[in-house]
């Protein structure tokens, strides 16, 4: 087993005891709550006449069902089920003394966007939330895990969860990213190399030059999709980039207290001689933007590559999955994804709904217009992100190009509100999952990509290489349709 890694240190410092079933009882430093997975858990506490053990460590927002059109946020919500979930959350947090970032707070948004930007997520923490993308918070050097309703109950009642310690795989990402290649491409490349189930039984420790060069929003995007690679969690050791991001944020201590906290943060980084259960290297030098061609995030290619043939895969299950993907996506093996028609462009989510994502997409949209046949949605990950974009005039760039500029929420990532695909629409999406039905239609088709690539697809009405819109127009050897089409 691993020794001396950040994961080992954080685990040991939060372990309360070993349980009779062999699991460890872990103290949870930060518990994030939203409207979808918490009502039943609060109900279980009420049945047992229990109070929330640590309301000061528990924070709530509304994201999954949040309408993104301003006029649809008036209460009661038009969707009766959504209104019921939101009302239950408001009642539960009010009775428990839990801080709630609701519509009127100015800080509402997606859980995994709100907590980092407020400084709630900090190095060395254990973070739990009833959402699989809690791994996002590992960008700070914390251990973030998604939990189910019964575990939410446990955290609310005791501040602890029962958990199995995982193996630690070090993922070294070597090389330097070229212009127009982003953190989203890095994590898609990791998943391409290691597979959607490659991380089962592991947590991923990301490192290497390409990771260290990322800013915090890029690191959040990488850790966010750890779960898509099968890992229980993913993290990056904290460094000066981490500390400078945290300095001055609302829930981060100031002055001498900050320096004391920083000393602790530095102490929990992986030792230089730490032992890992596994070490792999991913080469990011010369990497082209990646897009998915199938129905899981591992079915992904660099934009310069052709769609693979099912026979290219060794495992029977992978061949069958490829055949199903080709059929659903209505594409042929050997085809390029360049030129694949899109009907919808969606930019947002806990993966790519932050300020830098909209800034990069705006570079593509400046002076360009969304294709007449494309429905384009820009959904900031939080109201804070929306305000930051509007202060910089980024919203005007999107609106002038033809995007709908929305309010914060999960939106079309999983279509629990009105934002959904219709029929067999194809969506160029900055989200994290391309499962069948994920965006609200069983016939809908999702192509995952970076925010800049979403913007380029919106303009051209088809999958395109965003690098063609940047200053030097470099495609870094991406080639074109004619090089890869059969």
The mean pLDDT value of the chain amounts to: 96
Starting from the edge strand earliest in sequence, which strands make up the sheet with 445-448, in order?
404-405, 375-378, 344-347, 426-429, 445-448
Q: Checking DSSP bridges between strand 24-27 and strand 160-163, what pairing results, if any?
A: antiparallel
Q: Domain residue spans in the chain?
A: 6-279, 290-467
Query: Rounded to 10 degrees, what is the CA torsion of 224, 360, 343, 108?
Result: 50
370's CB contacts (< 8 A; 6+ apart) are 345, 376, 401, 402, 403, 458, 459
223 known ligand binder: no
410 known ligand binder: yes
**Rg of the chain on CA atoms, in Å:** 22
pLDDT in tens, 109-145: 999 999 999 999 999 999 999 999 999 999 999 999 9
SS3 string of 397-412? HHHHHCCEECCCCCHH
pLDDT score recorded for residue 472: 57
Whether residue 66 contacts residue 410, with contact meaning beta carbons closer than 8 Å, is answered with yes
CB atoms within 10 A of CB 365: 27
Within this chain, domains 6-279 and 290-467 share the same CATH topology: yes
pLDDT score recorded for residue 471: 72
Backbone angles phi and psi of 149, in degrees to 5: -60, -40
Whether residue 345 contacts residue 427, with contact meaning beta carbons closer than 8 Å, is answered with yes
160 known ligand binder: no
Q: What pTM was estimated for this model as a whole?
A: 0.96
Homologous superfamily of the 290-467 domain (CATH): Aconitase, domain 3 (3.30.499.10)
pLDDT in tens, 405-419: 999 999 999 999 999
Give me the percent of the chain exceeding a pLDDT of 70: 97
217: part of which helix (H) or strand (E)? helix 216-224
Closest CA to 107 of 258, 253, 216, 250: 250
Homologous superfamily of the 6-279 domain (CATH): Aconitase, domain 3 (3.30.499.10)
Concatenate the DSSP letters of all residues of 13-27 into one string. HHEEEE-TTSPEEEE
């Amino acid at each position: 087993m691993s020794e001396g890694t950040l994961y080992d240190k954080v685990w040991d410092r939060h372990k309360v005891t070993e349980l009779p079933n062999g699991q460890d009882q872990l103290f949870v430093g930060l518990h994030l709550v939203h409207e979808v997975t918490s009502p039943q858990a609060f109900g279980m506490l009420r049945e047992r006449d229990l109070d929330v053990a640590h309301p000061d460590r528990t924070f709530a927002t509304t994201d999954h069902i949040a309408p993104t059109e301003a006029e649809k946020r008036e209460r009661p919500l038009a969707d009766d089920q959504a209104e019921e979930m939101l009302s239950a959350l408001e009642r539960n947090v009010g009775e428990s003394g839990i801080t709630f970032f609701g519509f009127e707070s100015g800080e509402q948004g997606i859980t995994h966007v709100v907590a980092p930007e407020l400084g709630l997520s900090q190095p060395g923490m254990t973070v739990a939330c009833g959402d699989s993308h809690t791994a996002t918070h590992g960008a700070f050097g914390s251990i973030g895990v998604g939990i189910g309703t019964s575990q939410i109950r446990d955290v609310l009642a005791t501040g602890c969860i029962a958990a199995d310690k995982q193996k630690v795989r070090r993922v070294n990402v070597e090389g330097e990213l070229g212009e127009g290649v982003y953190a989203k491409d890095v994590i898609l490349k990791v998943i391409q190399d290691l597979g959607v189930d490659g991380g089962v039984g592991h947590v991923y420790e990301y490192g290497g030059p390409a990771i260290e060069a990322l800013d915090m929003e890029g690191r959040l995007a990488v850790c966010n999709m750890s779960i898509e690679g099968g890992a229980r969690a993913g993290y990056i050791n904290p460094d000066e980039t981490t500390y400078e991001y945290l300095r001055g944020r609302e829930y981060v201590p100031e002055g001498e207290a900050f320096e004391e906290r920083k000393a602790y943060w530095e102490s929990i980084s992986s030792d230089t001689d730490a032992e890992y259960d596994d070490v792999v290297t991913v080469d990011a030098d010369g990497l082209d933007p990646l897009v998915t061609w199938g129905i899981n995030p591992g079915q992904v290619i660099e934009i310069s590559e052709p769609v693979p043939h099912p026979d290219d895969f060794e495992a029977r299950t992978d061949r069958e999955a490829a055949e199903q993907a080709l059929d659903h996506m209505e594409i042929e093996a050997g085809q390029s994804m360049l030129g694949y028609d899109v009907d919808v462009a969606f930019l947002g989510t806990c993966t790519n709904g932050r300020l830098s994502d909209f800034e990069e997409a705006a570079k593509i949209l400046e002076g360009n217009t969304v294709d007449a046949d494309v429905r384009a949605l820009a959904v900031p990950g939080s109201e804070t992100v929306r305000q930051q974009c509007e202060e910089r005039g980024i919203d005007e760039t999107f609106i002038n190009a033809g995007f709908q500029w929305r309010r914060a929420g999960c939106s079309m990532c999983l279509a629990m509100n009105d934002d959904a695909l219709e029929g067999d629409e194809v969506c160029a999406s900055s989200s994290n999952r391309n499962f069948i039905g994920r965006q609200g239609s069983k016939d809908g088709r999702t192509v995952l990509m970076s925010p800049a690539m979403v913007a380029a697809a919106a303009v051209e009405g088809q999958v395109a290489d965003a690098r063609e819109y940047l200053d030097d127009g470099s495609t870094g050897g991406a080639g074109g349709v004619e090089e890869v089409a059969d």
